[in-house]
Amino acid sequence: MSGGAVTTDVLIVGGGPAGALLGYLLARRGLDVLVAEKQLTLEREFRGETIAAPSVVTLRKLGFGPALDQHGFLRTEGVTMRMEGRRVMHVDYRRFPIGTVPIDIPQPALIGIFTAAGQAYPGFDYQFGITFTKLVQQDGAVRGAWLRRRDGSTFEVRARIVVGADGRFSKVRHAAGLTADVQEMARDFLSFRLPRPPEWGLQAELVIDRDRHLVVLPTFPDSLRIGNNLPKRGLGALRKAGFDAFRADVMALDPRLAPVVREHLRSWDDTSFLEIFTAEVPQWSRDGLILIGDASHTCTPILGQGVNVAIQDAVCLAPVLAASLRADRHPVVTAAELTDFVTERRRHKAFVTRFQRIQESALATGSASGVLLRRARYRLLDALPVKYRLFDKVLNAPHSIDPVDLADDARTGPGVTTAERSTTTD
């Protein structure tokens, strides 16, 4: 140990959905965890708010149901696809056997629920305003990291595992020498939020006209989150054409939105830009280090899977780290001990990416014949008796969480204190 260094079992860099949930799950297993979050508050720029149904099930099994209910959320009941003014497909999420639907809750609220639950455990330490700067490495293994406070002062943290949960532009990944294969999608996104018209249902809608589209998501409590595609690196040209032209385009794509667009979409300041890419990271771990969430694999926004995979990563990793740290076989958690976790999670993410790529290429179609073919394909899919089975497989893909591990977490769920926990766990 170096003199003056803070020591902990686990250092998690990044307090987004993946890092905050993992920190909580490890603390309730009795471990000491420091979650270092560079922002000063949970308020963040426009982020993922849809939680896919499998993660809703997981969060309820973990005991977060009452906290979610208390905050409130919005149930997304289905998705409708419109192409060139015609409704071509509809999927009613309520018909899936999983028994729940995706929910919409602001990301700060979700993270706040995790951190509030963490306060019940002495080992949980979530600190704002702390930025990762570099790794501490020794004999080829990661042994900790240097962190910087807002006042510029730095400090060293020694940990038996460093978790890079610092998102799509992960600095931890870079510092560990783990490369990302970044694949740009054909489009970027400009997002904005509008009040939800009273007649608008609780359906997500994909409104497509040739190679232009709007993704319209009912959002808690009473708005619509809307993403409008633009060609890759097309923001400059869009801005040059002027804000009025952009607004007119949006209204032409979906005239039902015209009244709220006219009244509430007033300037570029009401919009935020999202670069769309996927990132494949061939190697997620080293001795003493693991990447999770967007840091290990960045999804596109199709079907709101980013938070889903982040939650599943955290829930799958917690028992693996706890077992390794309890067994105390090595000074750090080794990459070998993380192999099964990585293999399993990679399988889930590859499945999500495969589906997203197919959708992305369908959305990029602009030629007259391509548009006709696309419409015919989705119409056919809509009429197929196996439609619900196919979508169930894609949207509610079985994940790799061992029910025994979930049961272990559920026995020690939110509101169960350390003292109680010691009488309820092995």
Q: For residue 316, give the nearest of 339, 295, 350, 299 by alpha carbon.
A: 339
Region of 8-16, 200-208, 333-341, 401-409 interacting with ligand FAD (CB under 6 A): 8-16
Which of 9, 10, 12, 14 binds ligand FAD (CB under 6 A)? It is: 14
- Within 8 A by CB and 6+ apart from 198, the residues are none
Q: Is 365 in the site for ligand FAD (CB under 6 A)?
A: no
Region of 37-45, 117-125, 395-403, 408-416 interacting with ligand FAD (CB under 6 A): 37-45
Which of 9, 16, 89, 399 binds ligand FAD (CB under 6 A)? It is: 16
Q: Which is nearer to ligand FAD, 63 or 293 (CB)?
A: 293
Cβ 15 to ligand FAD shortest distance, Å: 5
User: How many CB atoms are closer than 10 A to CB 419?
Assistant: 7
Q: β-strands 289-291, 285-286: how paired?
A: antiparallel
Supply angle C-alpha 111, 295, 289, rounded to 5.
Answer: 100
Q: Is 53 in the site for ligand FAD (CB under 6 A)?
A: no
Which of 8, 11, 19, 321 binds ligand FAD (CB under 6 A)? It is: 19
**Which residues, 258 to 287, sit near ligand FAD by CB under 6 A?**
274
Region of 40-48, 91-99, 246-254, 373-381 interacting with ligand FAD (CB under 6 A): 40-48
Q: Which is nearer to ligand FAD, 306 or 319 (CB)?
A: 306
Q: Is 106 in the site for ligand FAD (CB under 6 A)?
A: no
If phi > 0 it is left, if psi is from -120 to 50 it is alpha, else beta; for residue 320 that is alpha
Q: Which is nearer to ligand FAD, 123 or 306 (CB)?
A: 306
Q: Is 397 in the site for ligand FAD (CB under 6 A)?
A: no
Cβ 132 to ligand FAD shortest distance, Å: 4
Q: Which is nearer to ligand FAD, 125 or 382 (CB)?
A: 125
**Which residues, 122 to 181, sit near ligand FAD by CB under 6 A?**
131-132, 165-168, 171
* Distance from chain centroid for Cα 282: 20
Q: Which is nearer to ligand FAD, 228 or 308 (CB)?
A: 308
- Within 8 A by CB and 6+ apart from 420, the residues are none
Cβ 359 to ligand FAD shortest distance, Å: 14
Name the site residues for ligand FAD (rule: CB under 6 A). Answer: 13-19, 36-39, 46-50, 131-132, 165-168, 171, 191, 274, 293-294, 301, 304-308, 310
